[in-house]
Each structure stands twice: as structure tokens, then as C-alpha cells.
């Protein structure tokens, strides 16, 4: 049963990968990427990299544009997450953290701002720790909105434009590796996503 379930997950991820490759050829591709990037910064559990990488592989000539779209949408979505933490933490914010089982981590994370300030956003925006947890907690902690936006642009831009650099330079090699070892790559991606939530829970 476990083996069948694992095969089903890999099959679904493969379908998502192939669909995203085909999506890159459509005019709606940037809008779909922007929607995922926006949602991931405030409530959606799946990082935009899942769409970003296949789209860059399919259209390396648009990799830098996709990175820009991803960065802008992620920062705007981050502002929504910030507002949830600032104005609606007792309702929506607390519910989201409870949904992910991270309520205790959120309180510890809030206290980390007093000691580490800017480094919290800069470092966590680059790690697998879900960015929505950073944005909501930033508002909850009353962190400066101006610096939140500035540092979000820096850290999210660094992440997505670095991916664009890799895809433009090594795209064919990376695509060939993914095609040959898709199950291993998919397993690594799922592990990274789950690991980000676990890291937030146990490191704060």
C-alpha cells in the first residue's frame, strides 16, 4: 500500500512537471506563476520553485523575466502575509499556524526579531523555511513594514534570480538530469518542503 501511494505521488508530480513545461508556451504562464508566488507568501503551502524551474527550463530565454515576476508577486504576497500577522493574527494568522502545527514556533520566531532584526528576513527568505511563516510573523512582531519590503525584495530576488542564472547557464544539463532521475528529484523537493516546516517548528 505504501509503495502504491508513493508511486501515485511521483506520478502526480510528474504530471505537474510536464504540465508546467507545456504551460510555459502559453500567454497565461506569467499570470499563473505570479498567482502561485503571491499565494505562497501568505497562505499557499507549495513554493513557486515548483513552477518556476520547469518554466525556465522550457523557456530559458524568459528565465530572467520569470524571476522578476516571481520576485514581485512574492513581495506583494508577502505584504498580504504581513498584514495578516499585523491585523488578523488572532483569527486568520493563528489559524494558519495551527493548521501547519507551528503555533509554538511562531511565538519563538517573534522573539527572535528583537535579537536578530534584519537577519531573520534575509536568512529565512533564502532557506526552505516557508516564506509565509516569515511574512505573517513579521507583521505579528510589529516589524518595520518599510524594511520588511526592502529586505524581502533583496532576499526573494536573490533566490529567484540565482535560479534564473543556473537555468540559463546549465538548463539543458539540469533538464536532462531531472528527466533521468525524476523520482529522486521529486523526493528531494518534497523532503525540502516538509523539512522547511519541521525546521521552523523545532528551531524556534
Q: Is residue 86 part of a domain?
A: yes
Give the integer Cα–Cα distance in Å for 191 and 183: 12
Query: Residue 168: which residues within 8 A CB-CB, separation 6 or more?
Result: 56, 60, 63, 64
pLDDT band at 2 (very low <50, low <70, confident <90, very high): very low
Q: Is residue 46 part of a domain?
A: no
Q: Is residue 26 part of a domain?
A: no
User: Total structural domains in the chain?
Assistant: 1
Q: Which residue has the higher pLDDT, 11 or 150?
A: 150
**pTM over the 0.85 mark:** no
Contact 71, 153 (CB under 8 A): yes
Q: Is residue 41 part of a domain?
A: no
Residue 70 has pLDDT above 90, yes or no: yes
Q: Terminal CA-to-CA distance of the chain, rounded, Å?
A: 35
- Number of residues that this document lists for the chain: 204
Question: Domain of 191?
Answer: 59-203
- Greatest mean pLDDT among 105-109, 125-129, 166-170 lies in 166-170
* pLDDT score at 186: 61
* pLDDT score at 157: 92
pLDDT band at 52 (very low <50, low <70, confident <90, very high): confident
Q: Is residue 170 part of a domain?
A: yes
Segment 117-135 mean pLDDT: 71
Amino acid at each position: 500500500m505504501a509503495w502504491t501511494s508513493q508511486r501515485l505521488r511521483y506520478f502526480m508530480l510528474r504530471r505537474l512537471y510536464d504540465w508546467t513545461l507545456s504551460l510555459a508556451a502559453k500567454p497565461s504562464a506569467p499570470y499563473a506563476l505570479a498567482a502561485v508566488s503571491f499565494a505562497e507568501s501568505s497562505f499557499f503551502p507549495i513554493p513557486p520553485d515548483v513552477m518556476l524551474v520547469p518554466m525556465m527550463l522550457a523557456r530559458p530565454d524568459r528565465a530572467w523575466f520569470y524571476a522578476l515576476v516571481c520576485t514581485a508577486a512574492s513581495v506583494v504576497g508577502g505584504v498580504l502575509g504581513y498584514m495578516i500577522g499585523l491585523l488578523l493574527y488572532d483569527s486568520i494568522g493563528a489559524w494558519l499556524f495551527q493548521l501547519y502545527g507551528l503555533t509554538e514556533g511562531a511565538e519563538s520566531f517573534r522573539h527572535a526579531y528583537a535579537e536578530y532584526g534584519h537577519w531573520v528576513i534575509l536568512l529565512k527568505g533564502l532557506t526552505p523555511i516557508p516564506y509565509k511563516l516569515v511574512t505573517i510573523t513579521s507583521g505579528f512582531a510589529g516589524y518595520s513594514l518599510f524594511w520588511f519590503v526592502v529586505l524581502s525584495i533583496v532576499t526573494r530576488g536573490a533566490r529567484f534570480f540565482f535560479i534564473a542564472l543556473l537555468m540559463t547557464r546549465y538548463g539543458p544539463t539540469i533538464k536532462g538530469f531531472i528527466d533521468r532521475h525524476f523520482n529522486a528529484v521529486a523526493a528531494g523537493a518534497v523532503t525540502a518542503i516538509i523539512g522547511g516546516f519541521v525546521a521552523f517548528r523545532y528551531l524556534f
